[in-house]
């Protein structure tokens, strides 16, 4: 869980963090992921991950690699978006009978 991985996760998650924030998040996530590692022993008491009884084996699920793609131009992406007042999106009018 280093700064490079955090940068990659930022891209996948549509976030951008400042360098000092990235460092702090990297440290926090290392601790949380280490805490989550204890799940391995717990679930493998039952059935080993990746074993013949594991319905989530990678070779049966066909996991593809995550690859960030180039972005759409801003104008194209927003062509169907709601109107704004400059800072905030304007709430569209309700269709008749659409409220509760």
Partner 1 sequence: MSGSAPTTLLAAAAALRGGETTAAALDAGLRDAADARAGDLNCFTWRAAAADPFPGCEGGPPAGASPLWGLGGAVKANICVRGRVADCGSRLLAGWRPPYQATVVGRLREAGAHLVGATVMDEFGMGSSTEHAATGPARNPHDPTRVPGGSSGGAAAAVAAGLAWFALGSDTGGSVRQPAHCCGVAGLRPTYGRISRHGLVAFASSLDQIGPLARTVADCAAVYEAVAGHDAADATSLRAPLGAPLDAAGRSAAGLTVGVPRGGPTPADADTVSDFEASMEALRAAGVTVTDIDLPDPDIMLAAYTVIAAAEVSANLARFDGAVYGARAVGDTYADMVARTRAEGFGREVKRRILLGTYVLSAGYRDAYYERAQRARRRVAAAYAAALSACDAIATPTAPAAAFPLGDKLDDPLRMYRSDVHTVGPSLSGLPALTVPTGRDRDGLPLSLQLTGPALGEETLFTLGAAVEAARGEGGGGGP
Is residue 3 a contact point for partner 1 (CB under 8 A)?
no
Tokens of 8: 């990659």
Q: Which two tokens stand for residue 91?
A: 């709430």
Helix pair 19-36, 3-13: axis angle to 10 deg: 90
By three-state DSSP, how is residue 99 classified? coil
CA distance 88 to 5: 32
Considering only residues 27 to 86 of the shown chain, the ones binding partner 1 according to CB under 8 A are: 28-29, 31-33, 35-36, 38-40, 42-43, 46, 49-50, 56-58, 63-66, 71-74, 76-78, 81-82, 84
Residues of this chain that bind partner 1 (CB under 8 A): 1, 5-6, 9-10, 12-18, 21, 24-25, 28-29, 31-33, 35-36, 38-40, 42-43, 46, 49-50, 56-58, 63-66, 71-74, 76-78, 81-82, 84, 87-89, 91-92, 94, 98-100
């Amino acid at each position: 869980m280093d700064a490079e991985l955090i940068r990659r996760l930022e891209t996948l998650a549509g976030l951008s963090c400042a360098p000092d924030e990235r460092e702090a998040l990297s440290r926090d996530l290392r601790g949380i992921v280490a805490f989550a590692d204890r799940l391995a022993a717990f679930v493998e008491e039952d059935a080993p991950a990746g074993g013949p009884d594991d319905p989530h084996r990678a070779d049966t699920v066909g996991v593809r690699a995550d690859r960030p793609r180039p972005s759409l131009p801003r104008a194209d992406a927003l062509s169907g978006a709601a109107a704004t007042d400059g800072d905030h999106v304007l709430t569209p009018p309700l269709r008749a009978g659409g409220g509760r």
